[in-house]
Each structure stands twice: as C-alpha cells, then as structure tokens.
Amino acid sequence: MSSPRIQIAVQDQALAVQITSSLNQSDFQLIDEADSTVDTRPDVLITDTAARTDGVRRTETAVLAVGSLETGNVILGDAFSDREITISCQLLGEIVQLKKAQQRATRERLALAQMARTDAVTGLANRHAWDEASKGVVNSGLECLAVAILDLDDFKHANDQQGYRVGDRILKTVGEALASNVREGDLVARIGGDEFGLLLPDLDEAIAATVVERIRSAVETALYDSGFQTTISAGSAAGNSEDLDELFERANADLHTAKRQTPR
C-alpha cells in the first residue's frame, strides 16, 4: 500500500503551518491544491472550511476536520499534537486506499464477467450468455416469444478465399447491424461461427416472421453497403417461452428451408 496522499486546505495560517510541519516529518505525499496536472484527488483532505468539502466524493477522499469545522470523518478541532494529526492521516488514508482497492477489484470482476459473456469479434452476447438467458426465458412465463436464427450464406468460402481478417469484418458488420435493429430488451447473440440468435419477447406468430425478415434485410443491406457481397438467411418461430427448445428447433428448420431457396 502506497503512502497516503494528503491535501492541506486550511485557511488558518497558523494551523496550516503546524499541520505541514507535522506531516513533513512523516512519509506522506503532500498534494498542492494548485497542482492540476495529474489526478490529484487526495486520500485525505485536511480542512477547516465547510465549503472546501463541497463536491468531495467521500468514497474516494476522507475529510479530516480541524479548527472550527465540525463535520468530517475525523474531527480534531484546533488543539492537537503532531502524533494525533499523523496517526489520523495514516489511518484515514489506509481506509480510503482499501476502499479504492475494493472498488477496483469489483470493477475488474464485473469486467471479467462481462468479457466471459461477450463475443470478442462482434461485441454481442456469446453462446454462454445465450444459454444463460434461455434458461431465464423458459421460466419467465412469456406467452409470446419469438426465436430467430440468422446464418451467413457461404461464409466459409468468403473466409477461406479472403482471409480471417475479412471474415471478422463481416461478422462485426453483422453484429452492429443486428444490435441497431432490435429493441431494448431483445437478446442478440453470436451462437456459432457464423450463426446468430435472437430472443424477441412479446412477438407472436403473426408478426414474428415479418419482423425477422426486416432485421435480416437490414443486416444484408449493411453488408452490401460495407462492400461485402454476402447474403444472410433467417428462420423464426414464435410461441410460449416454456416451449423454447421446440421454438429453437422450428426456427432452425425454417432457416434450413430459407437456405434451400434460390440465393438472394
């Protein structure tokens, strides 16, 4: 753990001199208020002015109140020893640094969890996230749910002929187009090499096919606009969420039917 970063913002000059003298004898990093060249948020702010604490994020900076200030994490007043000011700064600084370390660890865990559920190429949910979401959908009790599967046509040929970098650009284009053509609350995932799955709540059989065809067409347009002469097929099915496995099988069968049709 590094030495606590201390900022002294004390209007009473006598107190400011005393505090500075005390802390200069210890291993603290004293931060100048005027220094704004780097991230200068201190671990501990020593102040005698209530206004100086405005905007201070207490999860990132502890307030050590001196003089007449009566609000802070620790209140020393205007009569304290070198040892009291030093120990107060050390303890407050260590507490703040521990909190910051915990916050960083939490953010890193969340980032790793997100990475584990995100496809690296497209930025969409991956198969793991799709499977997890599917389990939740089965138990959701939705009476209307559409499942769609989209699959690039002859993607292997394009990938083999033009290389994986072009293949990745194609996949990324598809991912971006899908993400921009669904509603909030819909799930879009890359569930296979060139296969994408959609879970679309509150769509019944009467409109599911129309919506999925609109999405498929938008994706194909995005591919053409990006210079890729690649088509994409889609299959869909709709029904009760409890029958998700059956819906997936029907959507897959519908996809295979589309694949057998005359190339677009």
d(CA 53, CA 45) in angstroms, rounded, equals 8
Whether the CB-CB separation of 229 and 208 falls below 8 Å is answered with no
Tell me how far apart the alpha carbons of residues 153 and 160 are, in angstroms, rounded to a whole number: 13
Phi-psi region of 172 (alpha: psi -120 to 50; beta: other; left: phi over 0): alpha
Q: Which of 39, 194, 243, 254 is labelled catalytic?
A: 194
Conformation bin of residue 77: beta by default, left when phi > 0, alpha when psi is -120 to 50:
left
Q: Which of 102, 121, 101, 105 is nearest to 113 (CA)?
A: 105
Contact 14, 80 (CB under 8 A): no
Specify whether 194 is catalytic: yes
Exposed / middle / buried, residue 63 (Cβ in 10 Å: 0-12, 13-18, 19+): buried
Find residue 91's DSSP bridge partners.
Answer: none
Q: Do 144 and 150 contact (CB within 8 A), yes or no? A: no
Q: How far apart are CA 138 and CA 133, in angstroms?
A: 9
Q: What is the spatial distance between Cα 256 and Cα 1, in angstroms, rounded to a whole number?
A: 60
CA distance 38 to 35: 7
Cβ–Cβ under 8 Å, residues 236 and 187: no
Question: Which sequence positions are flagged as catalytic?
Answer: 194
